[in-house]
Amino acid sequence: MSKQRTVYCGLVNDELVGQTITLKGWVQKRRDLGGVIFVDVRDREGFCQVVFNAENLSAEEMEMADKLRSEYVVEVTGVLNERDGAQTNPKIPTGRFELFAESLTVLAKSKTPPIYIEDDLDADEEVRLRNRVLDLRRPKMFNNFKLRHQVTRSIRNYLDNLEFIDVETPYLTKSTPEGARDYLVPTRREAGKFYALPQSPQLFKQLLMGAGFDRYYQIVRCFRDEDLRGDRQPEFTQVDLETSFLSQSEIQAITEEMLKEVVKATKGIDIVEAFPTMTYAQAINEYGVDKPDIRFEMKLVDFTDFAPESEFGVFKSAVSNGGQVKAINLKGQADAYTRKTADALIDVVKPYGAKGLAWMKVTSEGFNGPIAKFFADDNSSNVISERLNAEEGDILFFVADKADVVAASLGELRVNLAKQHQLFDPNALAFVWITDWPMFEYDEEEGRYVAMHHMFTAPQNANPEEVKANPAEALAQAYDIVLNGYEIGGGSIRINNLDMQEQIFDLVGFTKEQAEEQFGFLLNALEYGFPPHGGLALGLDRLVMLLAQEPNIREVIAFPKTGRGIDLLSNAPGYVENAQLSELHLNIRSQKD
């Protein structure tokens, strides 16, 4: 008969010393010291050392203890003792205790595991994902998911106290255009028709506002068929919320206080200052990206007005063709770069369209480097030094190109250099709001304007005719929340006026028939007294990743996909039987066909 567990291995304490207790868990290590066997037993909360000797155990049980191996599952009962001072292990919380076993039961045996169950694991990620069940046994991984649980619990408690209502929305829904590609789900009941998995509950949460729910939230799975990276997965979890009758500033305030509650509950940090705010234009101008990492300075500095006066032809040419010249100053790091290593940084900016990366060092005798001769006169030297606050020991980097290329290139170089030279506190949490987003951006390939956020975002200008007449200048009532250089959430005030929604659809290229076909259910609802409303969605996985200080979102998702979208544990996606395809009215063509 199995005995009831008294306590987790990692939670034994002084109160249990001298008592007979039962532990259950996995064998972490086994050491035979000649007649006495020491075994570290591990569960989700940590380790406890167990001592097996012939004084307390039968010969049969000692033989079992001798055969214990890594990852065997055991049940051990015995008396908890406090170790002598010299024998304590200060590296673990239970290092002052050991259990003298009086009975042993082997609950399950294990093959030799393909990976070690330890935090400092040097194993290929594909091996880890293929053996995810073992990988998740590591204490570090459990702590990540304990943190994730604390985050979601804190969010639910906060929103519940503000009278938000948790409402589930459909997973099988309608495929609608814009945004990323949908994951499609065929149905056997309607030949040739497909459901789509939701990229977000956007339209449903707006309909809930039209239904009078007033405050909705949901911690919900979303699906997007897009290229993957370290902070993106094909299926992800977001904290989705929507409100009626609240302004942008009120929604931001609710979100900000919720994030402060999360940080306090999970990290013990009490953030009292208001999150800083900057406009989209300021973020692009000073940081090169719409999700700036403000833990360090190194802002982009504009030299476009100065370039025509310089003797450097590359700068002049870029500006004469309508481009920009900007620079950043990596302070005090000039000696860290040779000509070869500085030139090699072109590889950082090249993927963002930059054709070159100019640089020069600041020395006691002036500028030094490949382009220094073009800025040797006092006027040039003074302008550059003053704008960049350039001092001896600094190294300056310049990009001259189209405005979007300059921003993206220097924005990426700025972050790359900061990581390389450890210019920020990795424990810092730097939140910032990005507001006043453009309503639209022009898609050169499509030859039309597309919504920067989505087509249901309300413009700051309430006159639909004026928005339609000048879409390039229209600003949205939209706001993103950024943490340490990652966008962790975004939202907007939504359109609640039928005329405005129809004008926006028209502006982005939808005919009335197409709008009715795709969004008729929303347009119909807007005719029945729709309240002013707005909301926001937070990326839960990304937020937990940052709080856990993990470099990859896969470390905080229990069963993630690879960068190619493959689940190595279950080998999904996979082929299915022809009978299943036939039921769904599908026929798969071969590559040859």
Q: How far apart are CA 23 and CA 16, in angstroms?
A: 12
The alpha carbons of the chain give a radius of gyration, in whole angstroms, of 30
Q: Is 473 annotated as a binding residue?
A: no
Which runs of E-coded beta strand occur in 83-157?
97-108
To which residue do tokens 């300021």 refer? 282
Q: Is 494 annotated as a binding residue?
A: yes
CA atoms within 13 A on the CB side of 548: 26
Q: Is 540 annotated as a binding residue?
A: yes
Q: Using CA of residue 91, residue 94, residue 97, residue 102, what is the dihedral sign?
A: negative
Q: Which of 509, 491, 545, 588 is nearest to 216 (CA)?
A: 491
**Residue 353, both tokens:** 């369209």
Q: Is 453 annotated as a binding residue?
A: yes
* Exposed/middle/buried for residue 398 (C-beta within 10 Å: 0-12, 13-18, 19+): buried
Which amino acid does the sequence have at 505? F
> In angstroms, what CA-CA distances link 211 with 206, 243, 463?
9, 12, 26
320: enclosing H helix or E strand: helix 313-320
SS3 assignment, position 367 = strand
Q: Is 487 annotated as a binding residue?
A: yes
Q: How far apart are CA 202 and CA 198, in angstroms?
A: 9
Q: How far apart are CA 298 and CA 410, in angstroms?
A: 10
To which residue do tokens 């959430």 refer? 489
**130 contacts 572 by C-beta, under 8 angstroms:** no
- DSSP assignment string, 164-233: -EE----SSB---SSSSBPEEEE-SSSTT-EEEE-S-SHHHHHHHHHTT--EEEEEEEEE-B---BTTB-
> In angstroms, what CA-CA distances link 397 with 288, 322, 410, 506?
14, 20, 8, 44
Contacts of 295 (CB under 8 A, 6+ apart): 418, 424, 425, 428, 430, 484, 485
Q: Is 224 annotated as a binding residue?
A: yes
Q: Is 55 annotated as a binding residue?
A: no
> In angstroms, what CA-CA distances link 328 with 368, 396, 417?
16, 6, 10
Q: Is 568 annotated as a binding residue?
A: no
Q: Is 71 annotated as a binding residue?
A: no
**Residue 74, both tokens:** 């055991």
Q: How far apart are CA 453 and CA 487, in angstroms?
A: 13
Q: Is 302 annotated as a binding residue?
A: no
- CB count in 10 Å sphere of residue 365: 7
Q: Is 226 annotated as a binding residue?
A: yes
Q: Is 233 annotated as a binding residue?
A: yes
CA atoms within 13 A on the CB side of 134: 23
**Cα-to-chain-centroid distance, residue 54:** 53
What per-residue string of b and e applies to 278-302 under the rule 16 or more CB within 10 Å gives b? bebeebbbbbbbbbbbbebebbbbe
List residues forming the annotated binding site for L-aspartate.
178, 224, 453, 494
List residues forming the annotated binding site.
178, 224-226, 233, 453, 487, 494, 539-542
List residues forming the annotated binding site for ATP.
224-226, 233, 487, 539-542
